[in-house]
Structure 1
């Protein structure tokens, strides 16, 4: 059974973060051009609601308030006109990504399964959830996972002003820094809805836009078997799989991971985390 590389302790991960961000030529993300024209938003990919301790109306609609000035961020990235969709490079590499958490009811079980098989994943967290569960972000750092920005309250960004988009993204990056220990280098728009302002602001904050290739649609709670089938049938070199660890009842997502993960590994897939597509 193939496994991803051994987890790095958090202190090694954080001190080597800058080098890791620019390193590696295999498995780089290259899909997505750099221009200034707006991209067409994709179909919704995340369900409503939050973890048990945060009411859905609060999680999605809480007014924004300032938490102080933003911290220093990495150098500006290229401005894209579409999100990155898949990996390039050789080998049977795939990415597992989880949105909307961290949620204390489900995220620990997902982390336990990933740890059991020595696999790293990418978690696109919402700022309010991240602030309430900093210990889970610290665990993600300790176990070598990547944490990305998924906005503070999971709004439809294409309906917000530029100032509101910036606030959603900046507050979340600050929450990630406080719990994970470094600034996020990846961003995913809620519902897959991107526009020019989202790409430009993400670039200014040093984040690359990452979408997905295979949508498990687990947020619809279609049944564990259906989630497994969608991911196994969509498995292929370079794909990015979208699942959720919060935003509703994610027990099916937890159960599905326990079953499809060892099968993917037995099939020779190398489940890894994203690397920056530029030096």
Structure 2
């Protein structure tokens, strides 16, 4: 515990001072493997997160939806093609986060109630669920020349038996996250400051955990993204390596 607190103190101090922590390749003898995953969100911190991952030589899994961004466009519009092509070139993994970023609420017979962000709901059959997952896949191929990996994540992590069955039938495996892997970047920064979230992650993450965050989130005033520098450095100091969810069960 003393060593962890020392790592945390150094990491927070460097981050606060604006000092860059040099990235180092993962140790060949990992004490555990973690899976960093990012949902699109509003993309405010997309470049900072990408730069941090590249500096540390860490590969992540990105889940893509056509969400509104702080630039006034959407995450899978043509203006984001260079960003996604660069991530493909770096060797990251990619999955669907649905096209409209709706919420799968409940099954009714063979159908699923799908609540959209404007508060309206639709009823989808299995083909409709597949269409929601496949549209980001098609668009990503148009932007990058590469298909998504056969992965998806439900917005908010909300799934139903019908939704999971439909997704599996059209080739997508759902990826959730570990309880300790919920970094809290969507929580109010007034009650969940970055230093607290960072310390919690460094203390609680364990081998095999899937870590979930966003490339930007509307609901948080103080972005968590600058904390990925000390977070990754601190986790490496604990002996963790990082991998994508590509090919993982």
What TM-score does the superposition give when structure 2 sets the normalisation length?
0.70
Which of 107, 114, 117 is 2:46 aligned to? 107
User: 2:90, 2:83 → 1: CA distance?
Assistant: 11
Partner of 1:131: 76
- 1:140/1:147 contact within 8 Å kept: no
Point out the structure with the larger strand share: 2
Query: Does residue 1:233 correspond to 2:168, yes or no?
Result: no
| Structure 2 unaligned residues grouped into runs of 5+ | 1-22, 68-73, 106-112, 115-123
Which of 60, 68, 80 is 1:121 aligned to? 60
| Structure 1 unaligned residues grouped into runs of 5+ | 6-89
* 3-state SS of paired residue (1:276): coil
Could you tell which deviates more after superposition, 172-181 or 207-216? 172-181
Which protein shows a greater Rg? 2
Could you tell which deviates more after superposition, 172-181 or 142-151? 172-181
Alignment of 1:1-279 (within 5 A): 3-4=25-26, 91-101=31-41, 103=43, 105-128=44-67, 129-132=74-77, 133-158=80-105, 159-160=113-114, 161-162=124-125, 163-180=127-144, 181-213=146-178, 214-220=181-187, 221=189, 222-248=192-218, 249=220, 252-277=223-248
* 3-state SS of paired residue (1:157): strand
Aligned residues: 193
Partner of 1:40: none
Q: How has the CA–CA distance of structure 1 residues 250 and 171 changed in structure 2, closer, same or farther, with 3 Å as cutoff?
A: farther
What TM-score does the superposition give when structure 1 sets the normalisation length?
0.63
Q: How has the CA–CA distance of structure 1 residues 134 and 268 changed in structure 2, closer, same or farther, with 3 Å as cutoff?
A: same
Q: Deviations over 1:61-98 (max 9, x none)?
A: xxxxxxxxxxxxxxxxxxxxxxxxxxxxx841001111
User: 1:146, 1:258 → 2: CA distance?
Assistant: 20
- 2:98/2:133 contact within 8 Å kept: yes
- 1:2/1:269 contact within 8 Å kept: no
Q: How has the CA–CA distance of structure 1 residues 172 and 148 changed in structure 2, closer, same or farther, with 3 Å as cutoff?
A: same
Q: How has the CA–CA distance of structure 1 residues 266 and 177 changed in structure 2, closer, same or farther, with 3 Å as cutoff?
A: same
Q: Deviations over 1:249-270 (max 9, x none)?
A: 5852211101111111121100
User: 1:127, 1:212 → 2: CA distance?
Assistant: 21
User: 1:131, 1:117 → 2: CA distance?
Assistant: 26
Q: CA deviation at 1:167?
A: 2.8
Aligned-residue CA RMSD (Å): 2.3
Q: CA deviation at 1:277?
A: 4.4
